[in-house]
Structure 1
Amino acid sequence: MTISARRRSGSVLAVLLFGILLCGGTCVLAKTNLWAQDKSEALLEKHTLVIGKITQNPKKLFRYLKPMVNYAAEHMKDLGITDTEVLMAKDNQRMVSYLKQGKVDWVTETPFSAIILQEKAGAEILLKKWKKGVPDYHTIFFARKDSGINSLSDLKGKTIALEDPGSTSAYSVPASILINEGLELVRLASPREKPLADKVGYVFAEQEITISTYVHKGFVSAGAFNNQDWNKDDHLPKAFRKNMIIFHKSRPFPRAIELVRKGLDPGIKQRLKEILLNAHNDPKAKKALRAYQKTEKFEELSEKDRDSLDEVRGILKSVRSELE
């Protein structure tokens, strides 16, 4: 064979090898993606227990949820559960979709999100969670002591700072209270805007510390969040608190609710309920409970709790009709 022929042969071989590698790499990538998709679907069919949460901060919430779902799954091996996953949703609508598709088995949420998931996705309310060590919480309205605000009616022509549309205690509850008081709410783009004299303006501050800062600096006349926020220095610094007054409180609502998706295997649902109800008695659950938003325990909903959730439904209806 001539040198020229050898070169041609080598070139052809190189092209063939490159083609094989390219095809092989593509095939491997395709198989990998297909496998990942098939695995996800298979797991959803039921070897994986999936917990979900609505949040704008998935990295932070992952650390809260993963230990708890792992703990629960350890007690479900005889039911075929061999793995766990955490799936976050940025809003209620996305979580409704996940539940309808069967992508999430178990959700921990506020009462308001729980009712939305129940109404729109058929999710079943399972238990009440003692989040951060308490079974209930309520909304407080606060203002500076020198503001002259002593009642809800004093807010007419003024602006109140709320958290965001997804907040129970710092949006849905205070908004509904003001609406039921006969006050007309109007959303403002920033604290610099002023409402008309016969309306109450509201702005979204996004964080509790921003709400309290707006009030402290006089950017807005009042703020609203829950009673636990009032006592947290990183939400309301002591230097701010000493100059504030609470001028209105809501009724208490369950602190947090555990739900399961419609159609979840009855055996898994019942086992999950038993695991959660007994977790506070199990020393092995201590770390998981602490990670799970400092949960003290889980319990069955009382009649009072169910009455509170019925009120939540009414609140949601009024807020939707007036503000959305």
Structure 2
Amino acid sequence: MTRTGKLAKSIIGGIGLLLTMLAAASSDRPDTLVLGRISDDPQVDVARLKPVLDLVVPKLAAAGIVRGEILLARDPVQMRNYLRRGRVDWVTETAAMAAMLGADAKAKPIVRAMRENEGAYHSVFFVRRDSGIETLDQLPGKLLALQSRSSTSAFYLPLLMLKEKGLTLVELASPDDLPMPGQVGFALARTELNIAAWVEKGLVDVGAFSNTDWDNPEHMPESFRSHMRVIARTADVPRAVELVRADLPPPLQQALTQALLGLGDDVAADSALRKYFGTTRFVALDAVHLGTLQQLGQAVLSLRREVE
């Protein structure tokens, strides 16, 4: 890494530390709402979160809120601890992380986010057309490209589907490694485009990410896609979920829920919502969604124990 790269990394790390210190102080004050997210890019995620936070805080004045802060966690374990200790009030996450925080930290889902006007998505497994692979049953001894451990559609959903089929999973350090016979190896490519590129170049046998990534030429270029085919799909899950800590006062929880639901009808909120991970509006969670998240939470916790 160059000196410039090291300096940039130090600055970004410093931003995360500063935000943590600010939120740690403000969360002890009942007039402050702390919004959290699991992040590996604090500078980018703060820019995404702050506009919506700034819109929501004034709507909570009747509940005693006068200011907002952001607290980012480096991984699910740190966010779980923040929720349990009351250092975070509200968390925005994708389905798997939200479900796990619900199971592990008793966080309560309050609304789901529509992203690019889609309320649900699923994962797709894809291979090169000339691979000879037709079904997931052919994956033992093969290598799967996934994104990262914080991804619902490009980590948890694919691995859960393979686990349900009784396949043995093993993480490999790079696509240069090979799984033992009878095992399905998986390696982390870090980005959706890398997943597609690894399959295209023959570095791995199969890739998996969301159906929205499959349809996005920035993640699956047409020059790659023309060589690919989908061999399996997972069930749908909510795109994204907003949660609150288990002991958030009910009046504040209700006020926050109503504030989020109302943003979709506020034209002045359009820009802030788009920055908020491409959100178009927030919608209510029904019994089916809640049941899906509860089942997913237990499955994710079990999977994490198995692959860590």
Alignment TM-score, normalising by the size of structure 1: 0.84
Identity value in percent: 37
> Contact (CA 8 Å) 2:170, 2:179: kept in 1 or not?
yes
CA separation of 1:71/1:195 partners in 2, compared to 1, >3 Å: closer, same or farther?
A: same
- Equivalent in the alignment of 1:222: 206
Q: More displaced, 91-100 or 73-82?
A: 73-82
- Equivalent in the alignment of 2:245: 261
- Residues 47-101 of structure 1, C-alpha deviations (whole Å, 9 max, x = no match): 2211111110111111111011110011122333222111111111111111122
Q: More displaced, 179-188 or 299-308?
A: 299-308
Q: Does 1:245 align with 2:229?
A: yes
2:134 aligned partner, one-letter code: N
Q: Does 1:150 align with 2:154?
A: no
Secondary structure of the 1:200 match is strand
2:205 aligned partner, one-letter code: S
Instruction: Structure 1: state its 5+ residue gaps.
Output: 1-35
Q: Does 1:170 align with 2:170?
A: no
CA distance in 1, matches of 2:24, 2:154: 36
1:66 aligned partner, one-letter code: K
> Contact (CA 8 Å) 1:191, 1:220: kept in 2 or not?
yes
CA separation of 1:38/1:295 partners in 2, compared to 1, >3 Å: closer, same or farther?
A: closer
Q: Does 1:120 align with 2:109?
A: no
- Equivalent in the alignment of 2:61: 77
> Contact (CA 8 Å) 1:173, 1:315: kept in 2 or not?
no
Secondary structure of the 2:280 match is coil
1:232 aligned partner, one-letter code: N
- Residues 290-320 of structure 1, C-alpha deviations (whole Å, 9 max, x = no match): 2211212212212321232233134325413
RMSD (Å) for aligned C-alpha atoms:
1.9
CA distance in 2, matches of 1:243, 1:146: 8
Secondary structure of the 1:133 match is coil
CA distance in 2, matches of 1:178, 1:292: 31
Secondary structure of the 2:157 match is helix
Structure having the higher helix fraction is: 1
Within 5 Å, which residues of 2 pair with 1:1-324? 41=25, 44-324=28-308
Secondary structure of the 1:127 match is strand
CA distance in 1, matches of 2:297, 2:27: 34
Q: More displaced, 217-226 or 163-172?
A: 163-172
Secondary structure of the 2:264 match is helix
CA shift, 1:45, in A, is 1.9
- Residues 226-261 of structure 1, C-alpha deviations (whole Å, 9 max, x = no match): 111111122111110111000000010011110011
CA separation of 1:161/1:38 partners in 2, compared to 1, >3 Å: closer, same or farther?
A: closer
- Equivalent in the alignment of 2:4: none
CA separation of 1:317/1:107 partners in 2, compared to 1, >3 Å: closer, same or farther?
A: closer
> Contact (CA 8 Å) 2:23, 2:69: kept in 1 or not?
no
- Equivalent in the alignment of 1:15: none
2:127 aligned partner, one-letter code: A
Alignment TM-score, normalising by the size of structure 2: 0.88
CA distance in 1, matches of 2:176, 2:27: 51
CA distance in 2, matches of 1:155, 1:113: 26
CA distance in 1, matches of 2:24, 2:175: 46
- Equivalent in the alignment of 1:33: none
CA distance in 2, matches of 1:315, 1:123: 16
CA distance in 1, matches of 2:182, 2:24: 54
Instruction: Structure 2: state its 5+ residue gaps.
Output: 1-19
Aligned length: 289
> Contact (CA 8 Å) 1:176, 1:318: kept in 2 or not?
no
Secondary structure of the 2:216 match is coil
> Contact (CA 8 Å) 2:270, 2:280: kept in 1 or not?
no
CA distance in 2, matches of 1:43, 1:141: 42
Return the index of the structure with the highest Cα Rg.
1
